[in-house]
Structure 1
């Protein structure tokens, strides 16, 4: 165990603070802190000063509350005075020194040193190890946002990707990747659509922009600005057979500049975006100008809400620190959806596990606002859904049995909003973490891509994984399961 992990674990035991409480205050998941304590991992160098200051403040406060300052001084060989501010400074210095010793001696840095020289990888095992293990380690250690270019067609790699387990670590610094996509190459049918969706979900902390790559596919380059470049030779199955690693910074950045100009001239197909950009470039307004929708909800259910919820959402936007423009956006969206619900044709695709989670949890994501529906609000929501589908038979629900899809808990993090002319994805994980990395949205900029996704959803309706509920079916469903739903709600109440 490194010095930092040993010290951190000792401080946690001395103060007897719960790991969950510590994680909530520091702003990291408990799994990260557990790895700092037990597996020799370290906070990212850029984040370490803030993390250590926060930890020091928490421990100092607990020591003062527990009146254990004198015992702390003896246990940790620290001198007075013993007020909270002085204790915090002392603990911060202990953590800072332990971090430096651990960082200098970490085996990860020794492994990364191997990347400082140019190499030629000829064997599949070495190539896989580089892209799966060494390269992610390198990106995690960088103390600045990562800008990456990949000229190769993402569709050529999708068939070989596996998502059998969730990712063990997420990036703590922003990572942005420009990548190629060729809808006329490996994307010859709609089979790539779920794989591309799963890919974006699996790497939801990374922002991707996909460009039409027919003019640069031959380059076979992967470049991390200011860091490393990989020139690849591909076999007939589009697998990397040789990888030439370039680490000379001048060469890497020359390649980056040349290749980036090729992306600038290429057509943007899928764009990572945020709520403000989506609103001000008119994409959101144009999306709601139509009245036929396919919407797949990954978390919560922010649609068909009772009118009295809208003012509460507006107030929640203000309470959560958004400026007045967000409150206005929430108000505008509330009115827009009410009008669409009256006559519009809407196919909702709902994950079975998400539907159950919403009934018991009540969390919805409206624009950028996270709102927890009370039990009474959820009951009114259910009744309002029943009332609306009775008035508008063009609203249908398709319940997807996601439990039959392996690793589904990691592969459905993005909701899909589609009117068959405009389409965007909403990254729900962006709103459910404290780091807020990855994009808020992805907008689809290509008609062929939107058409393929629309067709895929239409075909999904007849799948064995999917059960359809029209207006009359919804009532029969509620007659059958209404008592169970009420009991689930009453447990929380």
Structure 2
């Protein structure tokens, strides 16, 4: 059993200078119950827990020399109690014993649904999943359906580490790209790490350090897996799983905005001769020199000034002459013209109407002067996907693919891959978007009509 509540009790006893017997007398409970709550052997019941917590909070706040807020103590104890209660309520075989066994797919996914839900409570609206196999392929749509449910349960953060066989993935690129983009779009923060699968790797799955599963057999309707939530087992296998997944050669990994700026990823992308760009926000590219100069002079941050100067040179010399396919939602163009909101280098700008007009006109001019620069719009009446909102922005060049969940503010949710087959996979997916009935190529004149 988890001991969040017991550890909190111990902390407040120490801070207030009270003994267990003092607390027992104040709340009118036997000292044996207090001891069991502290060591994690028991918890206050669901029926009496709220009343007990309020009395405890008053006791700690009223203690001689105590410098504690009754409300803050109550909130802290309540949060710890609810976490432990949720862990206890998992109520599955293997919680306090050794390994348990399941040989039915439906029973397995019912078990995983319960574990995911309860883990989100125990781990404060977040969930961490580590798998030494391809969970997206092996566990299929049922696993993805479980992931899709999590945001509606209030889970804001997901960390997924998994393996993938890239030879298989390229052959089924639409499934992988769609699923990965859905997961990034569906959470306030997602950190997805993928490594290359190797032969004979054990099929282990860890949900945080709380739950361990090993798939023993899957073939047609046949299914077998062992699992446990016993602490001595989960801690052991969490270490093994981490060792397998801790490799430097990652196929896809989370990247912070600071690292992207330091490594000039965006500058390199705009310098590439071949670019595929999907923006789910105003297009932060090909701003005319006059607008770039105004932005440079308008900031006192020297580092950002230098970044904008470099970006201006890249737009001048490379981007306008490159082979570029740019996809935007039709509403993105309209919203940009109306609001003037633009994020450039992960810095938000409020553009003036004349600056926006100059930007759109310059994009139109690039369309006229460079036959390899093409602009496509997606009609919002028919979304690419129905499961989650608009997908993250996708930037693909000859050296990397970058996924940016720019709908989340601040823009801190980036993923990047420099693995050739991963780039190929997303490039194929991008080119498929252009073939959709709701994707239309615009001429320069049609773009200007938005103004």
Q: Is residue 381 of structure 2 the alignment partner of residue 403 of structure 1?
A: yes
Residues 293-332 of structure 1: pairs in structure 2 closer than 5 A: 293-311=275-293, 313-314=295-296, 324-332=302-310
| Residues 210, 269 of structure 1: 8 Å contact kept | yes
| Residues 313, 369 of structure 1: 8 Å contact kept | no
Structure 2 CA distance for aligned equivalents of residues 446 and 386 of structure 1: 33
Q: Is residue 95 of structure 2 the alignment partner of residue 116 of structure 1?
A: yes
Shift of 1:332: 2.0
Structure 2 CA distance for aligned equivalents of residues 375 and 358 of structure 1: 10
Structure 2 CA distance for aligned equivalents of residues 315 and 440 of structure 1: 28
Instruction: Pick closer, same or farther for the CA change 1:266–1:251 going to 2, 3 Å.
Output: farther
Deviations 1:455-476 (A, max 9, x none): 332343333121112xxx2214
Larger Rg: 2
Q: Is residue 448 of structure 2 the alignment partner of residue 475 of structure 1?
A: no
Shift of 1:443: 1.3
Q: Is residue 451 of structure 2 the alignment partner of residue 451 of structure 1?
A: no
Q: Is residue 116 of structure 2 the alignment partner of residue 135 of structure 1?
A: yes
Shift of 1:132: 3.1
Shift of 1:416: 1.0
Q: Partner residue of 2:241?
A: 259
TM-score, length of structure 1 as denominator length: 0.66
| Residues 389, 395 of structure 1: 8 Å contact kept | yes
Instruction: Pick closer, same or farther for the CA change 1:101–1:286 going to 2, 3 Å.
Output: closer
SS at match of 1:184: helix
Aligned length: 378
Structure 1 CA distance for aligned equivalents of residues 355 and 149 of structure 2: 36
Structure 2 CA distance for aligned equivalents of residues 446 and 189 of structure 1: 16
Shift of 1:187: 4.8
Instruction: Pick closer, same or farther for the CA change 1:389–1:240 going to 2, 3 Å.
Output: farther
Structure 1 CA distance for aligned equivalents of residues 248 and 135 of structure 2: 15
Q: Partner residue of 1:153?
A: 134
Residues 59-458 of structure 1: pairs in structure 2 closer than 5 A: 93-94=70-71, 96-97=73-74, 100-101=77-78, 104=81, 108=86, 110-112=88-90, 116-117=95-96, 119-142=100-123, 148-156=129-137, 157=139, 159-160=141-142, 161-162=144-145, 167-169=151-153, 171=155, 175-185=158-168, 187-192=170-175, 193-203=177-187, 205-215=189-199, 218-236=201-219, 241-265=223-247, 267-281=249-263, 283-284=265-266, 286-311=268-293, 313-314=295-296, 324-405=302-383, 408=386, 410-430=388-408, 432=409, 440-458=413-431
Structure 1 CA distance for aligned equivalents of residues 210 and 257 of structure 2: 31
Shift of 1:110: 4.8
Gaps of 5+ in 2: 1-45, 47-66
| Residues 299, 305 of structure 2: 8 Å contact kept | yes
| Residues 362, 372 of structure 1: 8 Å contact kept | yes
Structure 2 CA distance for aligned equivalents of residues 294 and 448 of structure 1: 16
SS at match of 2:252: strand
Instruction: Pick closer, same or farther for the CA change 1:311–1:466 going to 2, 3 Å.
Output: same
SS at match of 2:320: helix
SS at match of 1:168: helix
Deviations 1:153-206 (A, max 9, x none): 14404545359889225546x653321111223652333233333233234612
Q: Is residue 437 of structure 2 the alignment partner of residue 464 of structure 1?
A: yes
Q: Partner residue of 1:12?
A: none
| Residues 427, 440 of structure 1: 8 Å contact kept | yes
Instruction: Pick closer, same or farther for the CA change 1:95–1:182 going to 2, 3 Å.
Output: same
Instruction: Pick closer, same or farther for the CA change 1:144–1:395 going to 2, 3 Å.
Output: closer
Shift of 1:240: 9.5
Structure 1 CA distance for aligned equivalents of residues 259 and 321 of structure 2: 29
Structure 2 CA distance for aligned equivalents of residues 124 and 410 of structure 1: 26
Shift of 1:305: 1.9
Gaps of 5+ in 1: 1-39, 41-88, 487-493
Deviations 1:236-267 (A, max 9, x none): 36x99444332233332322322333223584
SS at match of 1:271: strand
Task: Report the RMSD for the aligned CA atoms in angstroms.
Answer: 3.6
Deviations 1:365-412 (A, max 9, x none): 212112232333322322222233233332211112343237558343
Instruction: Pick closer, same or farther for the CA change 1:166–1:309 going to 2, 3 Å.
Output: farther
Structure 1 CA distance for aligned equivalents of residues 265 and 446 of structure 2: 38
Instruction: Pick closer, same or farther for the CA change 1:384–1:213 going to 2, 3 Å.
Output: same
| Residues 158, 191 of structure 2: 8 Å contact kept | yes
